[in-house]
Structure 1
């Protein structure tokens, strides 16, 4: 499944991803408040595809009514009854603490509601790592599976937050089986360092942090403008010579606004699918949108399941 082996794009990137996820053990997944067709269907179809084993957390009556209206078979799934979406989020996090699930999946509640429970100082799922979001994008015109980060969680990340954002993305890329030593482009408006554009200074600092071992597992370059990051001819014309320029696999954006616009431009202009996953918490969090295609929803589950499997294999063994 290495991105390096992917040829000029066919619509098979996500298909290979889903196939790989079927080959690992089912990931027990806490699905929080799946009370509409889109979210419940995503959980059901991902289970039918052999990727996750859902535990549905939400108002029992609403979930069963939704399943009945849309002919979705949830007979094999456990339902944990709650009164409303806020309680669903809290209960879902509690089930993770209780060891019932390896993944957390967003249902029909607002992202803010779920993430409040995830990031709560008391009883949440925080770790020492900054929580961040990655879009795993299948862009038809690009030979690589491309990561865009962070386009959903951190609005104006500082240098320390960006260090964690990059490390989260590298860890996902490697551990989920996309390949080794991903090429990381730190984006700005230009490819030269200038005090007039602070993101260029941060890009240079992040590259030096990688040189000093503060970011590991990937090859970084920046600042790079978007064209220099993904197009080899554009990089050649500008005289940029690096392992990353023109062949980036992870795109690190300056802030949430630019990342969100980039991801949506790829989705609507380039007809890309985007699988969404939140990293840096105790378990991967699957974030999907109502606008996601069924294949993108299943790919989000597949990425998270592959990552969970890698984490499971590297978990420390406790002696009896």
Structure 2
């Protein structure tokens, strides 16, 4: 966008300029962060006046800033100095409204420009703001590129918010929570219960669970607690609850993953249903327009081709459950070409061909793809890769646990993603989070499990 100003001698009475701007939810967050004004009337999802409804009103200062933006970019343009401004505010806009800002020159005097200003709502022409502004006209001609500004990404997790909205109306998922013996693991289960996503059955050392509840200030009255003295006994009990049809899901608490999974993969009394157990991160990455699934980053260390088939199929099935109708699966390697010296590139090509032949169903599978051309259309075009997946992969299949764990944690700690974790391939969803995960990650994991369980149950009926 090229910005060019107009000097005082080039202006005349009646000159006018207009701009249209869609006010988004992200605008409200950015404005609050930049100004420090956290008035709940202006923040999405909050009820600022106690009427039971979230307002998300556009701040009056934001409407005034639209006038300032028009003055500083178009009329008179770059180089102005604001001398005075007087506004009247008539009604309030909300996030989602398209706002039209107009300024008109009404006075010219010794380098000072007087303009009327108005902001109105496009859909019904309702006036938001009217006023008068006086500015010092630019003293030299300026023409510059206005697009060279740092980009902004709002660190909110709208994909998880959408998943929670889908999960909350569903019947609460009866969930055996294994060893919720510290505040983080117990808190995640209690939070999911408060959102009506799960009905927890707490399985573990009763004394430690009670201590965690006390630390959280949580009353466990009405919640079933099954006292099990050891982690292994608790994991065995959770599996038994599934077989007894008392639990529809299993959730990891404060224990090691191996201890939790061992009874689930037991040959006679485990929970496997024919496929390998595989772990999937459902990641809400700020700035990415869709949830990003990463698999397998937690269970299968160095999967062979047969295991990767299950990894891909499980991920496709989960992606469909959370609303991705035809998941695009990028099978990652160090290169986008098949190289006999890189085994992961060969596996990726074979998985792609197996999907073409119907051995993997429900989604588009392409590989090998390097990370850049899996998620960036520009990178895919530069390297001449044309496919349904390249540049817009929604599922990333990694070569092994090292790469998967690094990728997921880079997204979490550098890109500020939140990650829900689920194990597929068992009789019921297995909610698997890291012991260091936030309450939001645990809540989102429960939501993903509830949504997937509901779809599987509907298909079986």
* TM bucket normalised to smaller: over 0.9
Structure 1 length-normalised TM: 0.94
Match of 1:4 in 2: none
Confirm whether residue 123 of structure 1 aligns to residue 269 of structure 2. yes
Say whether 1:49 aligns with 2:195.
yes
Q: What is the TM-score when the length of structure 2 is the normalising length?
A: 0.66
Which of 34, 43, 52 is residue 180 of structure 2 equivalent to? Answer: 34
Partner-residue secondary structure (3-state), 1:105: strand
Question: 1:3 matched to which residue of 2?
Answer: none
Q: Note the C-alpha offset of 1:290.
A: 2.5
Contact 1:93 1:125 in 2 (8 A): yes
Select the residue among 171, 178, 187 that pairs with 2:317.
171
**Is 1:96 paired with 2:242?**
yes
Segments of 4+ moved more than 4 angstroms: 7-10
Deviations 1:19-42 (A, max 9, x none): 110021111001011111111111
The 2-side partners of 1:11 and 1:273 are apart by: 7
Match of 2:208, SS? helix
Corresponding position of 1:244: 389
SS in 2 for 1:133: strand
Q: Give 1:254's match in structure 2, choosing from 399, 411, 424.
A: 399
Matched, 1:184 2:329: yes
| SS of residue matched to 2:241 | helix
What is residue 297 of structure 1 aligned with on the other side?
442
CA distance in 2: counterparts of 1:40 and 1:177, whole angstroms: 25
Name the structure 2 match of 1:273: 418
Q: Which runs of 5+ in 2 are unaligned?
A: 1-25, 27-152
Structure 1 equivalent of residue 9 of structure 2: none
Aligned counterpart in structure 2 of residue 218 of structure 1, from 337, 346, 363: 363
Question: Equivalents in 1 of 2:431, 2:207: separation in Å?
Answer: 24
Alpha-carbon distance between aligned partners in 2 of 1:59 and 1:16, rounded to the nearest angstrom = 35
Contact 1:141 1:270 in 2 (8 A): no
Query: What is the SS of the residue equivalent to 1:100?
Result: coil
Count of equivalent residues: 309
Q: State the alpha-carbon separation in 2 of the partners of residues 154 and 309 from structure 1.
A: 26
- Give distance in 2, aligned partners of 1:309 and 1:122: 27
**Alignment pair present for 1:71 and 2:208:** no
The match for 2:451 among 303, 306, 317 is 306
CA drift at 1:121:
1.4
Aligned partners of 2:389 and 2:215: how far apart in 1? Answer: 50
Post-superposition offset of 1:61? 2.1
CA offset at residue 80 of structure 1? 1.2
- Among 155, 161, 165, which residue is 1:15 paired with? 161
Could you report, residue by residue, the CA deviation over 1:131-184 in whole angstroms, capped at 9, with x for unpaired residues? 10000001113222100000000011111100000000001111x232211000
Q: Which residue of 1 aligns with 2:207?
A: 61
Structure with higher helix content: 1
Structure having the higher Rg? 2
Paired residues of 1:44 and 1:74 also in contact (CA < 8 A): no
| Mapped partners of 1:122, 1:70: distance in 2 | 38
